[in-house]
Amino acid sequence: MMNDPVVLLEETNTRGTLQAVIEQDDRTAYFYLFPGQKFAHQFEPRACWLRNLKTAPATRDFEAMSQGQAPMIEASFCDHPDGLPPLEAERLSIVWLESGDGAAALYDDKIIGFIPGWTLYSDQPIAYASSCTGSTELSMMFPMNENATPIIYGQVARATEFWNSWEGESNTQWGALQEKYISTYEEIFGPIQKYYAIDGDQWPPMAIGEFEKDGIKYFLSMGIGIRAMPWVDYLYNDNASGFRRMELAIAIDMKDFDAEAQMRFAEIISGMADSPWRDITWYGEGHTNSAKELPGEYESLILSAALYNGSNIALPDMYGDKLNLYWCTPITLKEREYAHSIPNGGYTLLEEMINEGMSHVVRKRSSLK
């Protein structure tokens, strides 16, 4: 008779899109990442075996699986064939990756299990455990130690340092970052005119600065790039550092759009700022974002660094990653449908826009399609 598992620890990421759970019954302990209700039909739960509490089976634990129970791992693949003591809840902790799509389970501050963020988007829900010693071609569990998997330990160490650096009510990190953003923008666009907090009193601090120069109104974000975006590690692997972080901006010709329309553009950018983490997505060159609040015939925004043709904006690196600045340009429904109808259509549409003499500055225009 198998006992029902007992939850030892549960914790959501910062936006509640995923929930980490560590539980054990009288045979084994597991670490899980479950998608939130909003994403239950989009993503699968991921499991990570942590330890056996009883003598390990010689072969795969089909008996447990047939009863809908979490299986013990085979004796040949664990470092404790006779079993280990049950985990104690007060000694457990969770470290989320910055992107919020992966996490590590720690026991006495030592990593005992790791579920990579990229596995959320893969059909191979791979996980790693410090007590695992081997695997087969069909295994989803793999060994983990500082010599064999230093990348994992580095990721968790960086994530731990990242979260620790933002702890405490007296934290001054945002003040220093804010100053860097504003001084960088002011060097190009003149003195900041207004400052809008857009974080809704949630971490991380985010804002939009309003600037005006030569008849152009500028709205530029600050703080979005504090977090690494989901998906990017999975899509870009070793090159992910160039795409993980971004800020958003828009430049509006004041002759073509009145103050109300200008603020509508700014509000749309504000609404987009948290989307990668709230919706488990990411923004990059050529991506589009629908927005019904856009004026006139416009239906979406297309994001691009390539459209920008002004002076170099020297945004600082963020935690060792490049900080991309994507300019938001409104496009019509037909233009968006065209971009979505062909491979890499966002890039193709941007090329056509540049060839037509368009830049990052938003002006009234006719549709290209």
Got the DSSP string for 67-133? Answer: TT-PPPPPGGGBS-TT--PPPPGGGEEEEE-TTSS-EEEEETTEEEEEE-GGGGGSSS--EEETTB-
Tell the residue number behind the tokens 């005992």, with chain if given.
112
Can you give the pLDDT at residue 183? 98
Rounded distance, CA 103 to CA 1, Å?
32
Q: Per residue in 238-272, pLDDT tens?
A: 999 999 999 999 999 999 999 999 999 999 999 99
> Can you give the pTM of this predicted structure?
0.94
Strands 18-24 and 46-52: unpaired
Looking at every residue in the chain, the average pLDDT score rounds to 95
pLDDT, position 170? 66
Whether the Cβ atoms of residue 159 and residue 233 lie closer than 8 Å to each other: no
pLDDT at 2: 64
The token pair at 313 is 């904006």
